[in-house]
Amino acid sequence: MLEVGQGRGTKSLLLSHAFEVLDKENPHITAVELVKGKSHVSKRRLKTAGLSDQVTSLTFDATQFVSPEVPEELNQSFDVVFIDAPCSGLGTLRRHPEIAWNLSSESLYDGGELTVLQTKLLQSCSSRVEVGGFIVYATCSLSNSENQQVVDDFLASPEGSQFEVQSLFECPARARLTPEAQEFLDTCITPEGFLQTAFASADCDAHFMAVLKRK
């Protein structure tokens, strides 16, 4: 598995635990983070948790997978590429109201700075997905321009022509949930098959997730 946007390693820790729960054989995560300081924090936390052998943490710009200078550890295909995309964070407004003052409206428009970066990440990372593998694209935003519009733009691009939406209703892990958890998950799945939590439907931050399968 390739994790893009590792941050300080929290998702790596959670994913490692999820692999254990799902009895995944020989799990390994290769994780990339643009900010070197965050990569160092991730390595330290993973070492403390005894997971250094299961997670490889690298400092790398994930928009550059088509570059000839890709590290050896990344010069391969993965069954799953999980992209925690840089986003506006609008889904966390209830905890971070200052976000509203720090964002420019232009960055959120289709074609704005954030959406261009998000689409570029999808296009670049798609080159590392094996046939039959998946991209999981996630944000903590409520903005359609950062979510479904980015996915639609990617699917309409040459790189995205090899992918199709995989409905969350068909997610294998859904069957492992309790009936109550399945019922809640189903209320968060859009008609298009994406995950969209919102303040109105749950006492949690707003998140978006799309699963795309390579044909």
Assign residue 71 the CATH number of its domain: 3.40.50.150
Task: Tell me if 137 sits within 8 A of 195, measured CB to CB.
Answer: no
Model confidence over 48-66: pLDDT tens digits? 999 999 999 999 999 999 8
Provide the pLDDT for residue 103: 80
- In this prediction the pTM is 0.94
> Using CA atoms, how far apart are residues 46 and 52, in angstroms rounded to an integer?
6
Mean pLDDT for 14-31 is 90
* pLDDT greater than 80 at residue 202: no
Provide the pLDDT for residue 207: 95
Task: Tell me if 124 sits within 8 A of 66, measured CB to CB.
Answer: yes
**pLDDT above 70 coverage of the chain, percent:** 97
Mean pLDDT for 104-127 is 87
Band of residue 200 on the pLDDT scale cut at 50, 70, 90 = low
- Structural domain tally of the chain? 1
Helices (H), the chain: 10-21, 36-48, 99-102, 105-108, 113-125, 148-155, 179-187
Q: When comparing pLDDT for 110 and 119, which is higher?
A: 119
Provide the pLDDT for residue 21: 83
Lowest mean pLDDT segment, chosen from 11-20, 81-90, 105-114, 133-142: 105-114
* pLDDT greater than 90 at residue 167: yes
Domain limits for position 144 = 2-214
Mean pLDDT for 96-125 is 86
Alpha carbon of residue 97 to chain centroid: 23
Largest CA distance in the chain: 48
> Using CA atoms, how far apart are residues 183 and 186, in angstroms rounded to an integer?
5
Annotated catalytic residue within 87, 140, 171, 188? 140
Instruction: Please choose, from the candidates 193, 143, 1, the residue with its C-alpha nearest in 3D space to the C-alpha of residue 80.
Output: 1
* pLDDT greater than 70 at residue 199: no
Is 125 catalytic? The answer is no
